[in-house]
Amino acid sequence: MTRAAPPLIAALLLWQLLVQLTGVPRFLLPAPSEIGAALWQNRAMLAAHGLVTFAEMLAALICGAALGVLLGLWLAWSETALRLVRPVLVFSQTVPIFTLAPLLTLWLGYGFGSKLATGVLVVFFPVASAFLDALLRTPAELLDLAKVMGARRGRLLWLIRLPAARPGLASGLRLAAVYAPIGAVLGEWVGASRGLGYLMLLANGSAKTPLMFAALVVLSALTFGLTRATGLLAARLERV
């Protein structure tokens, strides 16, 4: 974080300088100072919309990760499910979520539900996929030992396969934290009356480009916070 500060400040200064020297219109590219001003002037509105989006992305991450974990465990538990469901799971990813978002909005309305659904759809797959792969990759020697010991299937999953798969789950969660905001904002773009995605569309439509950038800054900050928090959790999972 502190190491990223000097280059970031340098980039902002350069940006400011370029905008002032070239005189590019502010509705095309506002200077950082104008974005800062927009951030400050609209702080109450940005906070309100930001809170909505943050709740959506957090809920999507939690629900999507939970769904991914359950799917991974289910498919690792049952060979029949693995054979039948895994191809469907992979095939489901060939449908771009973007095309599903309008449908979800139609079904679930303009509120929280459709955003949660889009978010969950984006988030669950990387978690399920990484976790399942790890669950299926338990070292063969350990499985042999467990077999000689007369292990029950459920105890084997709980005592050996699941703990051994924690690093896989951790990498799935890290990806999910990056995807969750995309899912939430995607839902807001398709149809919403609140949230940062909605605010960005609105600001863009009325040529309030500094406000749009300000919303983007808030969104980046929220995403950063979410990925950092998830990263800490993932590091805990990876620790032996």
Partner 1 sequence: MTPPGLWLDGSARFGDSALFGPLSFRAEAGCWTVLLGPSGVGKTTILRLFAGLSRAEVSGGFGASDGQPLAGRVALMAQTDLLLPWATALDNICLGARLRGERADPARALRLLAEVGLAGMERRKPGQLSGGQRQRLALARTLMEDRPVVLLDEPFSALDARTRSEMQALAARLLTGRTVLMVSHDAAEAARLGQRILILTRAGLAEAAAPEGPPPRDATAPALLQAQAGLLARLLAA
Of the two residues 1 and 240, which places its CB atom closer to partner 1 in the complex? 240
Between CA 128 and CA 231 the distance in angstroms is 17
- Sequence-separated (6 or more) residues with CB below 8 Å from residue 30: 19, 38, 209, 210, 213
* Residue 236 contacts partner 1 per CB under 8 A: no
- Cβ neighbours around 139 below 10 Å, total: 10
Binding mask 106-135 for partner 1 (x = CB under 8 A): ------------------------------
Applying CB under 8 A, the site for partner 1 has a residue count of 19
* Residue 1 contacts partner 1 per CB under 8 A: no
Of the two residues 145 and 232, which places its CB atom closer to partner 1 in the complex? 145
* Residue 5 contacts partner 1 per CB under 8 A: no
Please give the sequence-ordered ranges of beta strands (E in DSSP) within the chain, or none if there are none.
Answer: none
* Residue 235 contacts partner 1 per CB under 8 A: no
Binding mask 159-188 for partner 1 (x = CB under 8 A): xx--xx-x----------------------
**Closest distance between partner 1 and the C-beta of residue 76, in Å?**
16
- Cβ neighbours around 88 below 10 Å, total: 8
Binding test (CB under 8 A) with partner 1, winner from 145, 207, 229, 235: 145
* Residue 83 contacts partner 1 per CB under 8 A: no
The alpha carbon torsion through 4, 7, 12, 14 (nearest 10 deg) reads -170
* Residue 240 contacts partner 1 per CB under 8 A: yes
Contact 30, 130 (CB under 8 A): no
Interacting span for partner 1 (CB under 8 A) from 6-14, 27-35, 124-132, 148-156? 148-156
**Closest distance between partner 1 and the C-beta of residue 179, in Å?**
28
List of long-range contacts for 149-155, beta carbons under 8 Å, 24+ apart: 153/77, 154/77
Q: Interface residues for partner 1 in 184-203 (CB under 8 A)?
A: none
Between CA 219 and CA 197 the distance in angstroms is 9
Written as one string, the DSSP assignment of 107-143 is HH-SSHHHHHHHHHHHHHHHHHHHHHHHHTT--HHHH
Contacts with partner 1 by CB under 8 A lie at: 141-142, 144-152, 155-156, 159-160, 163-164, 166, 240
